[in-house]
Amino acid sequence: MRKILLLLLPVTLVLTSCDLFNNFGKKVQVNDKMTVYYKGDGVTESDAKKLGEWIDKNRGDNKDELTAQIMKEGDAYIVRMPVKEEVMSKDKERYERIFWYMQDQISEGVFDGKKTKIILTDNKLKDKITLDELTRIEVGKDHYVYLKGNSVKEKDAKEIGEKFEKEQIFPYTQGAILLSKEKGTLVVRFLPNEEQIKSNKEIYYATLANLQYLVGKYVLNDDVKLVLIDEELADTKEFAELAADKKALLDQRMTGIDNTNAPYTQTQYQGQRQTDADQTPVDNDDH
**Phi and psi of 224, rounded to 5°?**
-130, 140
CA dihedral for 281, 184, 121, 110, sign (positive or negative): negative
Nearest Cα to 194, choosing from 169, 175, 167?
175
CA–CA separation, 138 and 240 (whole Å): 30
The pLDDT of residue 272 = 44
Q: Is the pLDDT of residue 269 over 50?
A: no
Q: Please compute the mean of the pLDDT values over residues 85-105 and round it to a whole number.
A: 85
What is the pTM (predicted TM-score) of this model?
0.80
The pLDDT of residue 92 = 84
Q: Is the pLDDT of residue 181 over 60?
A: yes
- Mean pLDDT highest for which of 11-25, 89-103, 246-260? 89-103
Residue type, 99: F
CA–CA separation, 60 and 8 (whole Å): 6
Q: Are 85 and 64 in contact (CB under 8 A)?
A: no
Q: Are 196 and 204 in contact (CB under 8 A)?
A: yes
Q: Please compute the mean of the pLDDT values over residues 256-279 and round it to a whole number.
A: 47
Q: Please compute the mean of the pLDDT values over residues 97-125 and round it to a whole number.
A: 91
Q: Is the pLDDT of residue 265 over 80?
A: no
Q: Is the pLDDT of residue 118 over 90?
A: yes
Q: Give helix 201-214 / helix 244-256 axis angle, nearest 10°.
A: 80
What is the pLDDT confidence band of residue 125, given thresholds at 50, 70 and 90? confident
In terms of Cβ atoms closer than 10 Å to its own Cβ (0-12, 13-18, 19+), residue 223 is middle
Q: Give helix 45-57 / helix 92-109 axis angle, nearest 10°.
A: 130
The pLDDT of residue 281 = 45
Q: Is the pLDDT of residue 194 over 60?
A: yes
The pLDDT of residue 91 = 80
Cα distances from 237 to residues 57, 184, 222, in angstroms, run 31, 20, 21
Q: Is the pLDDT of residue 276 over 90?
A: no
Q: Is the pLDDT of residue 114 over 90?
A: yes
CA–CA separation, 76 and 96 (whole Å): 20
CA–CA separation, 124 and 130 (whole Å): 16
CA–CA separation, 98 and 58 (whole Å): 13
Q: Please compute the mean of the pLDDT values over residues 192-218 and round it to a whole number.
A: 94
Q: Please compute the mean of the pLDDT values over residues 279-283 and round it to a whole number.
A: 45
The pLDDT of residue 198 = 92
What is the pLDDT confidence band of residue 94, given thresholds at 50, 70 and 90? confident
Q: Is the pLDDT of residue 5 over 50?
A: no
The pLDDT of residue 141 = 81
Nearest Cα to 69, choosing from 24, 111, 122, 114?
24
